[in-house]
């Protein structure tokens, strides 16, 4: 029903290409066809979207989409299945989730008149019960996401290491290789000589979440889990054999501290390996921020797409878990509504990047990337740290944001493009601002 020229121009750009890719960070389904919420310890949104939106996205031009993300399992196995079913019915090819790991990890294929396209989709940051697994004997595989787990090491100075080990010893939670103590299952499974762990109460029956490495400096180091990395690279190699253009989508909701302007080490490691295995375009998302673009061996790595539609304020039903995690009085649950505030992260002023991004048009010639054209969009707020609202919805104390992409102009366009330009330059990529469009030429 929307016909504003600034919005229609976005749709025209989506429809103009041989094909259009999007990441879908929600679930499609009716509340009557899914499970109860499948997680309860995360402060965040619980996403379920009317299946008609899948048809709307395909009408708008979206042909192929990645589904693996930290919200894929919000409504359990039935939510995974309903999202797949409704994408199929809408005609959107998809990858990243499935009834077992083989299905979640396999490439999706899209036929176009200029060649065959493949997509491999993976996610980092999901809980262990959300990881898809293989079947074994009579045991079925677990439905879920194609996970790329990250291993984290905390590199600390020698004196700090001594003090931390002393604290851990006094608390009875220090774990080193030579120890044989109950409550340390798996904590040191990935440890190297000299490393130690602290058996925090919630980790004592898991593979753990901390490994400390004594050194001469302080640093957080992340690497991709070797088995997950190898499995995904096999899928990428398969796609490169079976298709003319290979996309790899990586959704990562974890970071090495705060979510800054540089992708963590395990993402850069996997991106380079994916290109080496045959990927033509690597697409990162998960921080809801635009990040820099790297050209690696002639292939583009987009580390952060940012948001394109930001409408989580309009989730129709919100479960108990969300109200509880945001501090609402759940003893008054029947009096609470989805209009309560706060209920969703990142949707306030003071967020420079939440309400903007760009349409990226990749131009290939002779099988090689020739140009990336970047058209900036804004989602209903000005592109500044204060993010003043200019397309409000509703009349509450905290008006909601329309959240649809409009072509950005003027200062908004310049702010979006200059951010991309600065962060891409840090990666050795020259982005030229041509009026209100950005261009990377090879």
By CB neighbour count within 10 A (0-12 exposed, 13-18 middle, 19+ buried), where does 332 fall? exposed
In terms of C-beta distances under 8 Å and separation of at least 24 residues, what long-range contacts does 235-239 make, across chains too? Answer: 235/105, 235/106, 235/107, 235/120, 236/107, 236/120, 236/274, 236/277, 236/278, 236/279, 237/277, 237/278, 238/106, 238/107, 239/107, 239/118, 239/119, 239/120, 239/278, 239/279
- In the chain, the number of structural domains is 2
What is the DSSP-derived secondary structure letter of residue 314? Answer: G
Tens digits of residue pLDDT in 49-100: 999 999 999 999 999 999 999 999 999 999 999 999 999 999 999 999 999 9
Tens digits of residue pLDDT in 399-435: 899 999 999 999 999 999 999 999 999 999 999 999 9
391: in domain = no
Q: What percent of the chain stands above pLDDT 70?
A: 97
DSSP 196-257: BEE--GGGTTSS-S--EEEESS-EEEEEE-HHHHHHHHHHHHHHHHH-SEEEEEEEE---SS
Residue span of the structural domain in which 66 resides: 1-82+91-148+246-253+261-267+280-322+365-377+398-404+430-442
- Shared domain check, 161 and 133: no
- Shared domain check, 134 and 173: no
- Shared domain check, 167 and 144: no
Q: Is the dihedral of CA 279, 285, 286, 291 positive or negative?
A: positive
- Shared domain check, 126 and 42: yes
- Shared domain check, 188 and 121: no
- Name the nearest CA neighbour of 250 among 119, 88, 111: 119
386: in domain = no
- Shared domain check, 48 and 137: yes
- Shared domain check, 189 and 75: no
Tens digits of residue pLDDT in 133-188: 999 999 999 999 999 999 999 999 999 999 999 999 999 899 887 776 665 557 78
- Shared domain check, 309 and 205: no
The pLDDT assigned to 199 comes to 87
200: in domain = yes
346: in domain = no
317: in domain = yes
- Shared domain check, 113 and 155: no
| Inter-CA distances, 341 with 7, 66, 119, 361, 399, Å | 28, 30, 37, 37, 11
Find the mean pLDDT for residues 244-263: 95
Find the mean pLDDT for residues 127-137: 96
Element of type H or E holding 52: helix 52-60
- Shared domain check, 170 and 61: no
332: in domain = no
341: in domain = no
Find the mean pLDDT for residues 345-370: 88
38: in domain = yes
Q: CA 109, CA 92: separation in Å to the nearest integer?
A: 10
- Shared domain check, 200 and 122: no
Tens digits of residue pLDDT in 193-243: 899 999 888 776 677 678 999 999 999 999 999 999 999 999 999 999 999
3-class secondary structure, 139: strand
Q: CA 109, CA 241: separation in Å to the nearest integer?
A: 12
369 and 442 Cβ atoms separated by less than 8 Å:
yes
The residue assigned the tokens 């790991």 is 101
- Shared domain check, 161 and 131: no
């Amino acid at each position: 029903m929307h016909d504003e020229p600034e919005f229609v121009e976005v749709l025209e750009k989506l429809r103009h290409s041989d094909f259009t890719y999007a990441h879908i960070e929600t679930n499609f389904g009716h509340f009557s066809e899914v499970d109860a919420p499948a997680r309860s310890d995360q402060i965040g949104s619980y996403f379920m979207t009317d299946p008609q939106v899948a048809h709307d996205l395909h009408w708008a031009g979206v042909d192929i989409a990645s589904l693996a993300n930290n919200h894929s399992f919000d409504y359990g196995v039935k939510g995974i299945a309903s999202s797949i079913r409704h994408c199929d019915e809408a005609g959107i090819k998809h990858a990243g989730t499935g009834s077992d790991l083989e299905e979640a990890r396999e490439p999706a294929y899209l036929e176009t008149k200029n060649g065959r396209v493949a997509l491999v989709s993976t996610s980092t940051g999901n809980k262990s019960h959300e990881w898809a697994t293989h079947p074994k004997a009579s045991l079925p595989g677990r439905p879920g996401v194609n996970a790329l787990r990250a291993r984290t090491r905390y590199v600390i100075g020698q004196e700090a290491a001594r003090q931390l080990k002393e604290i851990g010893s006094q608390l009875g939670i220090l774990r080193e290789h030579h120890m044989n103590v109950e409550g340390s299952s798996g904590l040191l499974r990935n440890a190297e000589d000299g490393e130690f762990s602290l058996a925090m109460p919630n980790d004592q029956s898991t593979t753990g979440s901390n490994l400390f490495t004594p050194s001469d400096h302080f640093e957080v180091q992340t690497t991709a889990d070797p088995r997950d990395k190898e499995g995904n690279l096999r899928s990428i190699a398969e796609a490169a054999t079976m298709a003319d253009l290979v996309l790899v989508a990586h959704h990562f909701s974890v970071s090495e501290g705060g979510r800054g302007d540089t992708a963590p080490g395990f993402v850069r490691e996997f991106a380079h390996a994916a290109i080496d295995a045959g990927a033509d375009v690597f697409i990162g998302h998960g921080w809801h921020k635009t990040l820099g673009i790297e050209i690696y061996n002639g292939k583009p790595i987009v580390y952060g797409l940012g948001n394109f539609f930001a409408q989580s304020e309009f989730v129709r039903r919100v479960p108990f878990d969300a109200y509880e995690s945001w501090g609402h009085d759940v003893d008054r649950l029947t009096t609470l509504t989805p209009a309560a505030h706060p209920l969703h992260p990142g949707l306030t002023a003071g967020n420079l990047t939440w309400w903007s991004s760009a349409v990226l048009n990749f131009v290939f010639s002779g099988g090689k990337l020739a140009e990336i054209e970047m058209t900036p969009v804004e989602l209903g707020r000005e592109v500044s740290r204060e993010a003043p609202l200019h397309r409000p919805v509703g009349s509450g104390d905290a008006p909601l944001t329309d959240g649809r992409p409009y072509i950005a102009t003027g200062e908004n366009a310049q702010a979006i493009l200059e951010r991309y330009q600065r962060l891409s330059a840090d990666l050795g990529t020259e982005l030229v601002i041509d009026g209100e469009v950005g261009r990377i030429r090879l």
